[in-house]
Amino acid sequence: MDEFNDYKDYLKSHSSFPGIRRRDFLRLMGGGIYIFFRVGSAMEIMAAEGDQNRLPNDLNAFLQIHEDGTVTCFTGKIEMGQGVVTGLAQMLADELDVAFEKVKMVMGDTDLCPWDMGTFGSLSTRAFGPYLRAAAAEARMVLLILASEVIGVPLEGLDVNEGVVFNRKDNKQKVTYPQLTEGKKIERFLSEKPEVKDYSEFRIMGQPRFRVDSVEKVTGKAKYSGDIRLPGMVYARILRPPSHASKLVSVDTSEAEKVEGVQIVKDDDLVAALHEDPEMADKARRLFKAEFAGDEKPISNENVFAYLNENAPEGNVNINEGDLETGKKSSENIFENEFHDGYVAHSPMEPHTAMAFLEDGKMTVWAGTQTPFPAKSNIARVLGFEEEKVRVKPPYLGGGFGGKSAHQQAVEAARLAKITGKPVMVDWNRQEEFFYDEFRPAAIVKINSGVDDNGKIVFWDYHVYYAGDRGGETMYNVPHQKRTVYGRGWRAPGIHPFPTGAWRGPGNSTNTFAREVQIDIMAAKAGIDPVEFRLKNLTDQRAIDVLTEVAKMADWKPAQSPSKRGYGVAIGADAGTYVAHIAKVDVDTRTGEVKVLKVWCAQEMGFCVNPQGATIQMEGCINMGLGYALKEVVEFDGGQVRTSNFDTYEIPRFSWIPEIDTKILDRNAPPQGGGEPAIVCMGAVINNAIYDLTGARLFEMAMTPHRILGALKNV
Amino acid sequence: MTETIEFRLNGKKVSVQLDASKTLLWVLRTHFNLTGTKYGCGEGYCGACTVLIDGSAVRSCITSLGEVAGKNVVTIEGLADGDKLHPVQQAFVDNDALQCGYCTPGMIMNAVGLLNDNPNPTHEDIIWGMENNLCRCGAHNRIIEAVETAAADMRNKK
């Protein structure tokens, strides 16, 4: 996974992490009980994927049980709408036996929270969660030991309800958590694995909980980076190149300097106009006269896939089972197809924003970032500061989706704050947001596969270029298969004319699109209903379960596709979770416009900590997925990003939104990811539904009206 | 050119000495520190900056300060009655109709404007009335439900 790989060098260069020191904590914090714990699970996931990196031995989170009975969890994770602020609090409250309302989350502040590599990969619940639960169980045990001494009853004779420890035989004999922690400072480390609760004992986990931050957000009180106000602050408007290939040759700022109250900064490649009034800063920036030069890569919307094919790097074979030639010989029909997926922008509603201020030698940066700790390290490196002289404090994020793993704006703000000594706001406008976005990469998938005369898939030769292998698993039971991956993950440096990065369910939406469309093509040719064809070739019980469930939800009536009814089906797996979707669509064959009428989605994610939050993530995935499936196209010519605003970049609107019916399957198994899985099927399920209605098959996303009209001509 | 511009802002009379060509969004955010009104696109395409001017939903990023002289401007901060949320705000909370929350103030102000114009909207009226407010998290279905809930609630209170 790219995000892990990106920190490889970083991890190697640090023998220990400069996160918060325990003695500093204890000096800063009041009384109470502290439980420190460390997280290794994300790395275990990595190890399972063949990477042997280890997190250094340092603590990664801690709890503080206050004297007033409230509990604070300090975690380096951040909240960007995905709702971990609620789900993590549920896990903690349940294991510790306190009321949900007593738990407060402090997130992402690099001075208060222990080091964390970043919030991505749907890892917060599945990787961080078990450690949080274990720590809470440990804290509960510490409190029980203290209570045992106070009440004079052995541990076995005690029970806890909402922070009150009592004698099981005489519930008048009781003591509260606040009474136990009063006046004490107890530091404990997790040494052995404590017993966490069994699923049958959960009282708060598994219950639907609404967002805890909604009142702040509906009243306008919730603070995002751009809402930070400091005396004497200035807004920075930075000179931007016309293309990612451009290098600054010269700049004349003399006209800009005439704007009253403006300060111009020229520091190497960073040229900025700063003003207390953002509109005056804008005005000054428009007066910059700059010359740039650079050689463009000969790639644009017109030739993107030809260019990417021609420049493909060597492939790595990730899976090679059986013998493809043997598979081909036993095939009745062989299918060879190439699938294309274009560049897609994250376009969160809040552009990248950061406020930075240097005070008493310490740089504080309020930044909307998914990676506060790596941001801190980068800022320290660029400024030449010791790491402890930089603090990154992420307020709420106005969306991330992977795009705010990049934190260029925070570095820019810190550089300008260091130079000027003023609080500096760097708030990108929409054009800058599109220009610097690390797009989901354009990618190619080539599949050669075959089916025997019993409708069984007998071989599967899969080649994925530039998307990476996430979601590239065959999923189906195929005796002869090979999977070759070209380019490292979703970044493939040196190929694309601009940076690419992780976009919600990275790689997986591209891989699932290709696989599930290819499966549909094979089912149609074999003359078998697409749900039946899938079930016939699946042995993975979790996949069978979600597919069976979604077919039941949609009251699926078996038919050979195209049935002219407009129903499509697709399955996928991401972040440890399985999903199956059915969509019903309508297509205007005159305009090529698609209306997705209804989407059914069944999801199996192990134990679901917060069914409300998870359902909302599924809905969000389905709606957001309409965009990449149908409309989102980044216009570019070499390193020039022509897309600059929402007039041409079409993201889902109210009139596009389908009726949505979701179901989460009950499972008593470790919780898995929920922020991304339900987006990965959206391309395939809509493609298959369009085919079912019209007989037109598309091989490229986004499936724009123009491309749909083209496909209809081939029917 | 600096001039004196007076208008009502969240129920109070205000007077500013500023250039009338300044953008309302930035005057609200910087001069009045009313940061609930958000920048999203700067060109009127996304609706994150929506405020009410004399009861109608308007994009403050393409509205000049001069245009609100003598008018009644309400931002998200002026909607609740003390601690009591406006029915549209309450309906967003009750329907869990938000995720990251960045588009939420604009969504709410646009919905209030919509219900001012049409207290009895159909489902289709709501969809098309909200069409030009963008949400990237995909909270649309719940936002529509919230506006429907609020509309019913406001009718019942009359």
Q: Do B33 and A229 touch (CB under 8 A)?
A: yes
Residue A524 covered by a domain: yes
Same domain, A545 and A677: yes
Q: What is the pLDDT of chain A when averaged over all its residues?
A: 90
Same domain, A415 and A538: no
CA A576 from centroid of its chain's CA atoms: 14
For residue B96, give the nearest of A612, A623, A659 by CB distance.
A612
**A141 pLDDT band (50/70/90 cuts)?**
confident
B23 part of contact set with chain A, CB < 8 Å: yes
pLDDT tens, position by position, A456-506: 999 999 999 999 999 999 999 999 999 999 998 888 888 999 999 999 999
A236 part of contact set with chain B, CB < 8 Å: no
Residue A126 covered by a domain: yes
Residue from B95, B128, B140 whose CB has the most chain A CBs within 10 Å, to mutate: B140
Residue A302 covered by a domain: no
pLDDT at A117: 82
A653 part of contact set with chain B, CB < 8 Å: yes
Same domain, A577 and A606: yes
Q: Do B92 and A657 touch (CB under 8 A)?
A: no
pLDDT average, residue stretch A31-41: 54
Host domain of residue A52: 2-212
Residue from B112, B122, B137 whose CB has the most chain A CBs within 10 Å, to mutate: B137
**A631 pLDDT band (50/70/90 cuts)?**
very high
Same domain, A279 and A316: no
Same domain, A254 and A128: no
For residue A349, give the nearest of B102, B108, B131 by CB distance.
B102
Q: What is the CATH number of domain B87-157?
A: 1.10.150.120
Do residues A633 and A517 make contact, with C-beta atoms less than 8 angstroms apart?
no
Q: Do A645 and B41 touch (CB under 8 A)?
A: yes
**A1 pLDDT band (50/70/90 cuts)?**
very low
A612 part of contact set with chain B, CB < 8 Å: yes
Residues contacting residue A691 through CB under 8 Å, at least 6 positions apart: A520, A524, A561, A562, A568, A697
* B29 three-class SS: helix
Residue A48 covered by a domain: yes
0.95 surpassed by complex ipTM: yes
B18 part of contact set with chain A, CB < 8 Å: no
pLDDT average, residue stretch A165-175: 94
Beta-carbon-side half-sphere exposure of residue A491 (alpha carbons within 13 Å):
12
- CA angle, A610 then A204 then A209, to 5°: 40
pLDDT average, residue stretch A373-391: 96
DSSP annotation of A112: T
Residues contacting residue A153 through CB under 8 Å, at least 6 positions apart: A167, A173
The count of domains in chain A is 4
pLDDT at A143: 86
3-state helix, strand, coil in chain B (%, to 5): 40, 20, 40
B17 part of contact set with chain A, CB < 8 Å: no
| Element (DSSP H or E) covering residue A700 | strand A700-701
Q: Is the pLDDT of residue A34 over 80?
A: no
Of the listed ranges A33-47, A194-208, A322-336, A542-556, the one predicted with least confidence: A33-47
Same domain, A356 and A325: no
Q: What is the CATH number of the domain that holds A338?
A: 3.30.365.10
Beta bridge partners of A586: A595
What is the nearest CA distance from A278 to chain B, expressed in angstroms?
7
Q: B2-78 domain in CATH 3.10.20.30?
A: yes
Same domain, A632 and A515: yes
Q: Is the pLDDT of residue A184 over 70?
A: no
Q: Do A645 and B80 touch (CB under 8 A)?
A: no
Same domain, A458 and A399: no
Domain residue limits, chain B: 2-78, 87-157
Which pair of tokens denotes residue A429? 């406008």
pLDDT at A575: 94
pLDDT tens, position by position, A231-286: 999 999 999 999 999 999 999 999 999 999 999 999 999 999 999 999 999 999 99
Residue A329 covered by a domain: yes
**A346 pLDDT band (50/70/90 cuts)?**
very high
Cα four-point dihedral sign A216, A217, A221, A226: positive
Same domain, A192 and A261: no
pLDDT at B158: 72
Q: Decide: residue A248, CB within 10 A, 0-12 exposed, 13-18 middle, 19+ buried.
A: middle
Same domain, A198 and A237: no
A569 vs A516: CA distance, rounded Å: 8
Do residues A392 and A372 make contact, with C-beta atoms less than 8 angstroms apart?
yes
The beta strand positions in A162-255, using DSSP E, are 164-167, 170-176, 185-189, 234-238, 247-252
**A154 CB neighbour count, 10 Å cutoff:** 8
Residues contacting residue A24 through CB under 8 Å, at least 6 positions apart: none
* Average pLDDT per 10 consecutive residues for chain B, totaling 158 residues: 95 97 98 98 98 98 98 98 96 97 98 97 98 98 98 90
A402 part of contact set with chain B, CB < 8 Å: no
Residues contacting residue A552 through CB under 8 Å, at least 6 positions apart: none
Q: Do B128 and A655 touch (CB under 8 A)?
A: yes
Same domain, A339 and A363: no
Of the listed ranges A64-68, A142-146, A314-318, A569-573, the one predicted with least confidence: A64-68
Residue A219 covered by a domain: no
What is the nearest CA distance from B12 to chain A, expressed in angstroms?
18
Q: Do B35 and A226 touch (CB under 8 A)?
A: yes
pLDDT, greater one: A423 or A490: A423
Q: Do A223 and B80 touch (CB under 8 A)?
A: no
Of the listed ranges A45-49, A389-393, B113-117, the one predicted with least confidence: A45-49
Residue A572 covered by a domain: yes
Same domain, A317 and A372: no
